[in-house]
Copies of this chain bind each other. A is one copy, B any other.
Amino acid sequence: MSWKDHLIKIAPYVAGEQPDKKDFVKLNANENPYPPSPLVTKAIRDFDAEDLKRYPSADAVPLMKAIADDLGTDSSRIFTGNGSDDVLALCFRAFFNSDKPVIFPDITYSFYPVWCRMYGIPFKTVPVDEDFNINAADYARENGGVVIANPNAPTSIGRDLDFMRQILEENPDSVVISDEAYVDFGGHTALPLLGEYENLIVVRTFSKSRSMAGSRIGFAVGGDALISALRAAKDSYNSYPLDSVAIKAGCASLADKAYFEQTVEKVIATRTRLTQKLREMGFVLPDSSTNFVFAHHDKYRAEDIYKYLVSKDIYVRYFRSPERISDHLRITVGTDEQTDLLINTLESYIK
């Protein structure tokens, strides 16, 4: 056998296109259209580069404390990582060591099956209903773990606290991950349930609502057993996942609550306007609890709209698969200006 026979064989996650040109409207990666807080700018400008000669705090302690303060919890309940992808991957490795399949919706973040394959974790997808809703009752089945993105992507649909409580009630023997990447845009966090359910872990990111996708900061909130297992998995992979600049920048973002709230409100206001305009044009889309919308048009094929928008230098996300969503577009909520351009371009296509 040659060494080539033992190389990994895996189909990786494919992210949205990053066109290699300057002037285009980028509404395909659910990035925040607004910059991070001015305090983040200041933290980076004031960063003493000499600090880089030292390893960062292995657990990003200052950031861990700042997140705990922000959430009104104890820092021992916080775990930080290199974006929520790193945190989620470590959750899969740390929590899902059963022979039973981990379950998650068929339409959800497409990295979940990739991590399962990466770690050899059996999994089974549970169909969302015809309106793309996740129904808690469908998760009352034998499993080795449950993963729920709430709000879900790419559907944009958020569920309430009772939904998550029902999932937890049905699954006392499994770890339940509440992936809340988009929760700040109007979703319902499972954080209030942490005190009642030791098997719940909540995962968050600075990439969306805090406009810091470039800093790669994710975190988890949970009880001792889960956080300890996460730390053991992390310290078996990479001791220092967060760099020193990101740790300082993350703390600075948390220090500016007013800016955070204003930014989120602006995105929500634009989303409301975008949703209404799209519906006026005949698009069908659920109410979004995220910073994107998930839209379908009965008369125009999503792929054709996508291609037309690309020809006008506007990039939205079009998914060729799975088939259930292959006639949908996922459109990030941009600035008002970007949104006007999008709406005008769509109107010129549809008219």
Interface residues of A (CB under 8 A from B): 1-8, 10, 12-15, 18, 26, 29, 31-36, 40-41, 44-45, 47, 49-58, 82-83, 85-86, 89, 93-98, 114-115, 117-118, 120, 144-145, 173-175, 199, 207, 211-216, 225-226, 229, 231-246, 249
Q: Which residue from B41, B83, B93, B212 sits with its C-beta under 8 Å from A8? A: B93
CA distance A4 to B249 in the complex (A): 35
CB-CB under 8 A from A32, the residues of chain B are 53
CB distance from A9 to the nearest CB of B (A): 8
CB-CB under 8 A from A49, the residues of chain B are 35-36, 40-41, 44, 249
CA distance A49 to B50 in the complex (A): 20
CA distance A174 to B175 in the complex (A): 38
What are 21 A-B pairs with beta-carbon distances under 8 A?
Answer: A1-B98, A6-B96, A6-B145, A7-B225, A8-B97, A14-B235, A18-B55, A29-B54, A31-B53, A31-B54, A35-B52, A40-B52, A45-B47, A52-B212, A52-B214, A54-B214, A85-B240, A86-B238, A118-B236, A120-B120, A243-B243
Contact present for B31 and A50 (CB under 8 Å): no
Q: Which residue from B82, B96, B145, B213 sits with its C-beta under 8 Å from A238? A: B82
Contact present for A236 and B114 (CB under 8 Å): yes
Contact present for B98 and A6 (CB under 8 Å): yes
Q: Which residue from B6, B97, B175 sits with its C-beta under 8 Å from A144? A: B6
Contact present for B207 and A249 (CB under 8 Å): no
CB distance from A85 to the nearest CB of B (A): 4
Contact present for B6 and A57 (CB under 8 Å): no
CA distance A214 to B175 in the complex (A): 33
Q: A53-B33, A249-B52 are in contact. Are A83 and B18 (CB under 8 A)?
A: no
Contact present for B52 and A3 (CB under 8 Å): no
CB distance from A347 to the nearest CB of B (A): 27
Q: Which residue from B44, B214, B235 sits with its C-beta under 8 Å from A53? A: B214
CB-CB under 8 A from A85, the residues of chain B are 237-240
CB distance from A155 to the nearest CB of B (A): 21
Contact present for B6 and A35 (CB under 8 Å): no
CB-CB under 8 A from A1, the residues of chain B are 98, 173
CB-CB under 8 A from A40, the residues of chain B are 49, 52
CB distance from A116 to the nearest CB of B (A): 10
Contact present for B243 and A52 (CB under 8 Å): no
Q: Which residue from B7, B31, B35, B82 sits with its C-beta under 8 Å from A55? A: B31
CB-CB under 8 A from A239, the residues of chain B are 13, 15, 85
Contact present for B241 and A82 (CB under 8 Å): yes
CB distance from A216 to the nearest CB of B (A): 4
The 8 closest A-B pairs by CB, nearest first: A12-B235, A214-B244, A52-B214, A41-B49, A35-B50, A53-B211, A7-B229, A6-B98
CA distance A1 to B98 in the complex (A): 9
CA distance A42 to B170 in the complex (A): 55
